[in-house]
Chains A and B, each alone.
Chain A
Amino acid sequence: MSDISSNSAEERAINASQMKVSDTDVAIDVVGMHKWYGDFHVLRDIDLKVMRGERIVVAGPSGSGKSTLIRCMNRLEEHQQGQIIVNGTELTADLKRIDEVRREVGMVFQHFNLFPHLTILQNLTLAPIWVRGIPQAEAEATAMHYLERVKIPEQANKFPGQLSGGQQQRVAIARSLCMQPKIMLFDEPTSALDPEMVKEVLEVMISLAEEGMTMICVTHEMGFARQVANRVIFMDQGQIIEQNEPETFFSNPQHERTKLFLSQILH
């Protein structure tokens, strides 16, 4: 944040860190949340308040419950104790509330999960047409707009199987954006990609952050965390161990476990 260089990525980082974060508007509020898989206690007493406009990166060793945490936020997984309130709606077994939350929360998966039997355009318009009841022509116009944003409008009529991994993941992001969500969840979006394709996906995510999207991102891309996040959360064994601004988190980690983790992934 302090030193200014000619590197455009660095300039972007400055832009991003100056992004407005709301002080009062809570996007996601997780209070005393526990989750078990059978006897296995996956998430222990999670407390997390995400403000509107925040960009949060969740890091931690595998099996620490990072993915499970964000999957609880749109109830792909159910929690057994505590509260999760998303956009003011508490997630319970009530399907109406779950639908309400899912309409406003987009999710991007590690393995893209595009619908292989539909064209890219159909992938993008499916939910707007059937969930929001938007006329087809309008939905297609929106879809083309977002395809241009992720820089692949020429692929609109191809099938997912014909695209590279990076392109597929950008389509997946565009698919979520077509529902015009208030919050985006990313579950290791670059882990299944070839190294040279990681960049094109990260660029899309950075531009999203610049527009002020509330984002929660599980990732091992520490460069992305430094550049975009305004908060990094470190998890281990189902608990949030440490959270801080990226600068402090990377330069001065407090917890032993965090130091060990950082030394392993940053070399």
Chain B
Amino acid sequence: MAVQDNIAGPPRTAFYNDPVIRGIFYQLVVAGLVIAFLTWIILNTAQNLAAQNKSTGFGFLFETSGFGISFTLIPFDRSSYYWQAFVVGLLNTLLVAVIGIIFATMLGFVLGVARLSSNWLIARCATVYVEVIRNIPLLLQLFFWYFAVLKAMPAVRQSFELPLSIFVNQRGIIVPRPLPDFEIFWVAVTAVLALVAAIAMVVWATRVRTKTGHYPVVVSRASRIAGLIVTFGVGYLAISLLGTVVPALSLGPVFPLIGALVLAGISLSPYGRYGRVFIGFAIGWAVANFLLGGMFAGLGEGIIVLGAALVALGIAWTMLSADRRSAATEGKLPLALPVLIVIALPALVYWVTGASLAFEIPVLERFNFAGGLQLVPEMVALVLGLTIYTAAFIAENVRSGIQAVSKGQTEAASSLGLREGDRLRLVVVPQAMRVIIPPLTSQYLNLTKNSSLGAAIGYPELVNVFMGTTLNQTGKAIEVIAITMLVYLTLSLTTSAFMNWYNARVALVER
């Protein structure tokens, strides 16, 4: 009988030993506990609020706030409503988060690559940066930037004056305020369209290149012409700038014109790279001269010009050796065409529509600056602190991503004859990005959430304005905290939804 039972089906077990039934039972128990706990919390809260004679509800949002906010992106004053205070806080949080994310990403990628540099000094500097910054609490860094750096700036009357009418003092950084007229709108639209067009052109040209083996004839011809125009333009700029360093060369407008024509001509010859190196040298010299002159105003002019020339020679030498290393560029799409599209089209529209972009220059009056745009020190300190702190973590993500691509991948690509640019673009970067993006998204999340520390240095972001002032004045703790939490939850869930989508898209297929 026993044998027959075995053949007929699995041996019978008692129902309380069946894993399926046990599973269902435990699920029911847990669900019951959760429901009981939530019911208890809600009832308890309602009871306590009733005992304190407090009303609940979101009606307070439409009451007058009666307080002012030091930095707002939308008009706000004492007669504004609480919901407007909420919007101001939210916008300020988003503003700092977006600016911080952009700068932290740029700085982080540069640092991450620098840590892997074969240059000992660069690699060590990047390591020290990362190790120091990520081991100091963010709040401490914010206090440092706010109290030790920005609040230690001179008083208004002794403001530092930087080039382009930018002033730095205790009250923050004052920059010229752009005053666009209506036609600027069309210039901006063209700029966006030109950027899209340039990207579309590159994508299309790359597709055609893959399909047929060479770039479309139109594109390569236009690229050659664009290369000439860009060389001419940059050459003109370079020689004009050279005139600011060597006064003997500023012989009126004809000289740079001729020089630029010569440079454009050279770029067609096999000696094109020497033309590029010359342009790099000239611009480097002028810029270094300007910067050194600003930093060491005390030194003699001759020494500064000489120092700047040394810097420029360094730039020229680096360019020359980099150029030599990146030989063989027959099959490459030159960057000149997309650059020209992005710069020239908006410039053309600017000129045709007669748009004008004026600036309101800040002017020092008796007690403060009149005009200009004031960046409050709270915001500058918060953006600085968040950027510098988060960049250290992003640098580590970037480094780990690049190192996660095994050396064998680069070797295999090299052995197939792929050049360095193609190796990076086609083999290394796609694999590194898979490793970099997920932790990068959580760094973005961290930065957004850490911006709430702005409350500690008085930056009016969401936690400061809404959970601080609004909560204190209205006493609507539950509603205010719920709304604030909901905002951060929404931001986080949106980001992680994107992250999951991206992960699913680029995941490696195995088995």
Contacts and interface: CB of A to CB of B under 8 A. Distances in A.
Interface of A: 74, 76, 94-96, 99, 102-103, 105-107, 109, 111, 113-117, 126-127, 129-138, 158-159, 161-162, 172, 175-176, 179, 185
27 contacts: A74-B414, A76-B411, A76-B415, A95-B328, A102-B415, A105-B415, A107-B412, A107-B415, A109-B412, A113-B408, A113-B409, A114-B412, A117-B508, A126-B427, A127-B413, A127-B418, A129-B213, A130-B426, A131-B418, A131-B422, A133-B209, A136-B212, A136-B213, A161-B510, A175-B416, A179-B416, A185-B415
A103 B417 contact: yes
A111 B417 CA distance: 19
Interface string B439-457: 0000000000000000000
A117 B214 contact: no
B511 A161 contact: yes
Interface string B484-511: 0000000000000000000000101111
Interface in B428-471: 430-431, 434
- Among B406, B416, B418, B511, residue most surrounded by chain A Cβ atoms (within 10 Å): B416
B510 A159 contact: yes
A162 B328 contact: no
Chain B interface secondary structure, helix, strand, loop or mixed? helix
A112 to B, nearest CB: 8
B326 interface: yes
A117 B430 contact: yes
A74 B328 contact: no
A209 to B, nearest CB: 20
B508 A159 contact: yes
Nearest to A133: B213
A126 B414 CA distance: 12
Interface in B330-370: 331
A175 B427 CA distance: 15
B327 interface: yes
Contacts of B506: 117
Contacts of B418: 126-127, 130-131
A179 B412 CA distance: 13
The 5 nearest A-B residue pairs measured at CB: A161-B510, A113-B412, A127-B416, A107-B415, A159-B509
Contacts of B54: none
B48 interface: no
B12 interface: no
Contact of A126 (B209, B328, B426, B434): B426
Contacts of B510: 159, 161-162
Given A129-B213, A134-B213, A99 B409 contact: no
A106 B434 contact: no
- Among A130, A138, A175, residue most surrounded by chain B Cβ atoms (within 10 Å): A130
B426 A162 contact: no
Contacts of B511: 161-162
B206 to A, nearest CB: 10
Contact of B508 (A137, A161, A185): A161
A235 B212 CA distance: 46
A133 B331 contact: yes
A113 B411 contact: yes
Contacts of A102: 414-417
Contact of A162 (B411, B414, B415, B509): B509
B432 to A, nearest CB: 10
A96 B211 contact: no
B269 interface: no
B210 interface: yes
A136 B214 CA distance: 11
B345 to A, nearest CB: 30
B177 interface: no
B327 A109 contact: no
Given A117-B431, A159-B510, A162-B510, A76 B326 contact: no
Contacts of B210: 129, 136
Contacts of B78: none
Given A126-B418, A131-B416, A109 B408 contact: yes
A218 to B, nearest CB: 14
A135 B212 contact: yes
B416 A126 contact: yes
Contacts of A115: 409, 412-413, 427, 431
B419 interface: yes
Interface string B47-86: 0000000000000000000000000000000000000000
Given A95-B325, A135-B213, A176 B416 contact: yes
Nearest to A125: B210
Given A99-B328, A162-B511, A131 B417 contact: yes
Nearest to A108: B415
Contacts of B426: 126, 130
Given A130-B426, A159-B509, A161-B509, A99 B417 contact: yes
A95 B214 contact: no
A127 B427 CA distance: 11
Contacts of A136: 210-213
A117 B434 contact: yes
A109 B411 contact: yes
Nearest to B510: A161
Given A113-B408, A115-B412, A96 B327 contact: yes
Contact of A95 (B212, B326, B422): B326
A96 B411 CA distance: 17
A103 B417 CA distance: 5
Contacts of B412: 107, 109, 113-115, 172
Contacts of A138: 213
Nearest to A172: B412
B508 A127 contact: no
A176 B213 CA distance: 19
B204 to A, nearest CB: 15
- Among B415, B430, B431, B511, residue most surrounded by chain A Cβ atoms (within 10 Å): B415
Nearest to A139: B213
Contacts of A114: 412
B40 to A, nearest CB: 50
